[in-house]
Structure 1
C-alpha cells in the first residue's frame, strides 16, 4: 500500500523531495518496497489541492515552477483551497511532510501541525528545527502514544545523517561529548577570512553565494547552531535543554588578525557547538574555538558541516557533509520516509 503524503508547505525543500520521489520511484519500490502517493498539498502562498486517489506530481512541480497557483491544477474530483489543518485532519494522508516557514523560537506553526497529525496517528517528517528544539518531549510522547512516526533528520545537518547515525548505528555506546561545526555560513566566512577577506567581505561573498540570508543574524550570532545543540542534547543524549541553557557567542567580533594568530600557532578558529555530559548534567555552548590541527573539525572546509561523537566503545566517530542545499535537505526527508516504512514493515512481519 502506497504511503499517502500531504505536503504542508511547498517551497524549495518540499519540491526537492517530490522530485526525488519521482526520479527514484522505481529504485525505492525495488529496494525498499516503498511506493508513495501525493494526495494533498497546502501552501500559504501557492494554494492547496487534494485528491484522495493521488495527484500528478509532475503537474504540481510544473505549476509552481511556472509561477502558477495550485488551484490551476487540472483533474477530476479535485478539492481546492484546504488550509494546513484541513489538509492534515480532513484528508486521507497518512504521512505529513511538514516544511512550512516556521519561527524557530516558538516552533510555530510546525509544532501545531505536528500535534494535529499525531493526535490522529499520522506520521510526520519535517526539516523544521523549532518543534524539536521547543517541544521535543511533548511531541515525541504524543507520537508514541498514538503509534505515529516522527522524523526530523534534516534539522541538524540537512541530508548528512547526524541524528540517524547515533540513534541507530552507534547504539550501545555512551556518548560523552558531541562537538560540531553546525553552521555552514559561518564556517565559510571564517575560511574566507583566513584567505585574506575582512568580515564584511566574507559576509558579502557568503550572501552572493547563497549561503547567508539578507539578514544573517541567526547564522553569525550563533543562534542557528544553538538550536541544533539543543536538538542534539534532547534527542541524542536524552537530556532536555532549552535554547537559553546554551551559552552562545557568534563570530561578529572576530578579526582577521585572530585567525592569523591561530594559524601561526598551528590552530584554526572555528565556530563550534559543544554538548558535554558532566557530573551536573549536560553543559552546552556555541562559541569560537581554537582547534588544534589534529582535531578533525579543524580541516572542515567552506560551507561543509561536521560533527564528532566521543563514544566509550567505538571511540571518536567523525561525520561530515553538506549542511544545507535543497536536494540535500529533500534527501533528509527521504531518509525519514524510508525509516518509517522499514519500521512499518517490521511491525507487519
Structure 2
C-alpha cells in the first residue's frame, strides 16, 4: 500500500527528504517494500499545492529552487493550490505528515498545533522540530496513542545519528543510569578553535562564516538548544516528565582564553555537556560547560561533531557519535522514522514500539 505524504514546511530539510524519497525510491521499494507518494506541500513562505493522486517531486524541487515557490506548479485536473497548513492536514488524503516548519522553540508553535491536528485526524507525524517533544511530549504522545497513529522524532537530538532509537531498541534490557552528551556542534567547534588559540569572538565568527552558527547565535552559545534536547532525552529515554525550563542551563559565552589555557595546563578540556542522571525514582538534568579529563570518552570529540554516552548497568558505557546537523543528515532522520512507521504495520506511537 502506498504511503501518502504531506509536507508541512518545505525548507532545506523538507526538500532534502523529498529528494531522498525520489532518488532512493527503487531501493526503498525493493529493500523495505516502502512505496511513497508526495501528495501535498504547504509552506507559509513557499505556497501550497495538493493533488490526491500525487505530485512530481522533481517538478516541486525545481519550482522551489528556481522560483522560491510551489505556486507555479503546473495546473492540471484535480490540483488544488493555496491551502494553509491546517487545511492540508485536515483535508488532504495524506496518512503521513512531515512536520518541518520554522518553529519557535520557546512555544513549540506552530509545530505543536500541527501535531495535535494530525493526531486528531488519525494521521501520523514525523518531525525534526524540538519544540513539540521538549515542551509537550506527554500530551502529544497520549494523543497519538489514543488515535493509534505514529509519532517519530528521531532527528530532534542528533539529526541522522540515532540517539533516541538506539537506547530503547539496541540497549533494551539495560537500566540507563546516566546520559552525557555533546549535543551542539556550533559550540563544540568554537571550543576546538579556542583550544587552537582563537579568542571567543573570533571562534564565533569562524563558526558563522562556515554556517555552523546563526547570525544570532544565542540559542547555541547560551546552551538553550542543548537544554531542549536534554528535556527530550529525559522524557523519552528516561521516561521522566522534566520540563526544559526546569533544567539549569549555562552556555559557553563566559569562557575565555585564560580558562582554556588553564584547562590545558591541567590536562583537561572544556566541553558544553548535557547530563541526565537517574537516582532511584528521580531524574535530574543540567546543561553547562564542564572540565573533563583528556582520557574521558567525550574529550576526543572535536569540531562540529556530536556525541552521546549512555551509562548502562549491563552493557557499561556506550558512546554514539556522528553529525548533529546538516540538511541531508536531518532529512535522513525523517526517512528513518518513515521506514520505522512502515515496519510497524500497525501504526502506534514510536515510544511504545521502540520500548
> TM-score normalized by structure 2?
0.96
- Name the counterpart of 2:56: 56
Superimposed CA distance per residue, residues 297-349 of structure 1 (whole angstroms, 9 cap, x where no aligned partner): 110010000000000111111000000000000000001000000001799xx
SS, match of residue 298 in structure 2: helix
- Name the counterpart of 2:193: 192
Count residues in correspondence: 347
- Name the counterpart of 1:5: 5
Correspondence 1:344 to 2:342: no
The whole-number CA distance in structure 1 between the counterparts of 2:67 and 2:305 is 32
Unaligned runs of at least 5 residues, structure 2: 349-355
Superimposed CA distance per residue, residues 153-201 of structure 1 (whole angstroms, 9 cap, x where no aligned partner): 1100001000010121111111000000000000000000000000000
- Name the counterpart of 2:172: 171
Deviation for aligned residue 1:68: 4.0
Is contact 2:149–2:347 with CA below 8 Å preserved after alignment?
no
Deviation for aligned residue 1:69: 2.2
Is contact 2:178–2:278 with CA below 8 Å preserved after alignment?
yes
Runs of at least 4 residues of structure 1 off by over 2 A? none
Superimposed CA distance per residue, residues 239-284 of structure 1 (whole angstroms, 9 cap, x where no aligned partner): 0111122111100110112112212222111100000012461111
The whole-number CA distance in structure 2 between the counterparts of 1:67 and 1:2 is 30
- Name the counterpart of 1:214: 215
The whole-number CA distance in structure 1 between the counterparts of 2:5 and 2:168 is 25
Deviation for aligned residue 1:59: 0.2
> How do residues 33-182 of structure 1 correspond to structure 2 at under 5 angstroms?
33-76=33-76, 77-182=78-183
Higher deviation after alignment, 40-49 or 255-264: 255-264
SS, match of residue 248 in structure 1: coil
Is contact 2:52–2:92 with CA below 8 Å preserved after alignment?
yes
SS, match of residue 37 in structure 1: strand
Unaligned runs of at least 5 residues, structure 1: none
Is contact 2:150–2:347 with CA below 8 Å preserved after alignment?
no
> TM-score normalized by structure 1?
0.98
Deviation for aligned residue 1:51: 0.2
Is contact 2:341–2:347 with CA below 8 Å preserved after alignment?
no
Is contact 2:148–2:347 with CA below 8 Å preserved after alignment?
no
Deviation for aligned residue 1:285: 0.5
Structure 1 pair 265–11 and aligned structure 2 pair: CA distance change class (3 A): same
SS, match of residue 297 in structure 1: coil
Superimposed CA distance per residue, residues 113-157 of structure 1 (whole angstroms, 9 cap, x where no aligned partner): 000100111110000000001100100010011110000011000
The whole-number CA distance in structure 1 between the counterparts of 2:293 and 2:242 is 28
Superimposed CA distance per residue, residues 77-107 of structure 1 (whole angstroms, 9 cap, x where no aligned partner): 2100000000000010000000001011111
The whole-number CA distance in structure 1 between the counterparts of 2:145 and 2:5 is 20
The whole-number CA distance in structure 2 between the counterparts of 1:311 and 1:168 is 13
Structure 1 pair 346–279 and aligned structure 2 pair: CA distance change class (3 A): closer
SS, match of residue 5 in structure 2: strand
Higher deviation after alignment, 63-72 or 122-131: 63-72
The whole-number CA distance in structure 2 between the counterparts of 1:330 and 1:320 is 18
The whole-number CA distance in structure 2 between the counterparts of 1:278 and 1:309 is 15
- Name the counterpart of 2:259: 258
The whole-number CA distance in structure 1 between the counterparts of 2:170 and 2:142 is 23
Deviation for aligned residue 1:72: 0.6
RMSD: 1.1
SS, match of residue 205 in structure 2: helix
The whole-number CA distance in structure 1 between the counterparts of 2:67 and 2:221 is 33
The whole-number CA distance in structure 2 between the counterparts of 1:140 and 1:222 is 26
Correspondence 1:21 to 2:53: no
